[in-house]
A = this chain, B = another copy of it.
Amino acid sequence: MIRVVLVEPEGEYNVGFIARLCKNFLVDELYIVNPKVNISEAIKFSAGGKEFLENAKIVNNFNDAIADVDIKIATSSIADNKGDILRKSIKPWELFPLIQGKRVALIFGRESVGLTREEIFKSDFLLHIPANPSYPVLNLSHAVGIILYEIWKNRGILNNPQTSTISEHSIQLIDKYTETLYKLLKRSDEDYKMYIAMKRAIIRGVKDEEEARVIVHFLRKLYTRIIHNEKEMSNVS
């Protein structure tokens, strides 16, 4: 269960964009603590995520927004200042193992001043998105987007362990036609390299069965074109 918590957001467009992102990345709940924006203005920026604003839970204080979750993740663009244990951060790609299977609140502070130290203290971790050290401050909704994307990505990758393989039949045909073409062109013993390099590159690089079939078709047409021409030529001579 993923809950996004916005603490005193100040920009209509950010609140709207975040609702849209909640829909894009299948968030479960949106909580807003003491909003400084007009929600009906924000809806204009929410596109297909409008329902998240219509159903957003508006609360008056921070504690109400983090009640009944298992793990609370504060966020900040200021992190890892030397000697400041509270601001030691985890990175977005370290988040998933911590929250997997749990009820999590992802907590985002005010555009102007972020979260207070007290709010960070009440949370379990501080998450920081690394960026250009000379200007690391992301706009609020863009930070939300990156973190939700990173969680979504990990959910998806875990569910399907890379089953994008191509059939043995297509591998055989790629092998056969690259070999046949190389034999047509072969001048020296060194030329076997053409066959090996091409075959391997294609088999490594091909994305799925559909792409494999198009490539086999291409190789076969190259072959028949050469053979066809050379038959014609031998008929003439």
Contacts and interface: CB of A to CB of B under 8 A. Distances in A.
Given A131-B25, A142-B21, A218 B153 contact: no
B194 A201 contact: no
A216 B25 CA distance: 41
Contact of A138 (B24, B130, B195, B217): B24
Interface stretch (A33-41, A114-122, A222-230): A222-230
A237 B233 CA distance: 10
Interface residues of A, number: 69
B85 A211 contact: yes
B207 A194 contact: no
Given A23-B135, A93-B153, A236-B233, A83 B210 contact: yes
A64 B124 CA distance: 50
Given A24-B138, A225-B184, A226-B225, A215 B194 contact: yes
A75 interface: no
A218 B185 contact: yes
Contact of A23 (B93, B132, B197): B132
A49 B181 CA distance: 47
Nearest to A217: B194
Contacts of A82: 210
Contacts of A215: 194, 197-198, 201
Given A142-B142, A185-B222, A201-B205, A135 B24 contact: yes
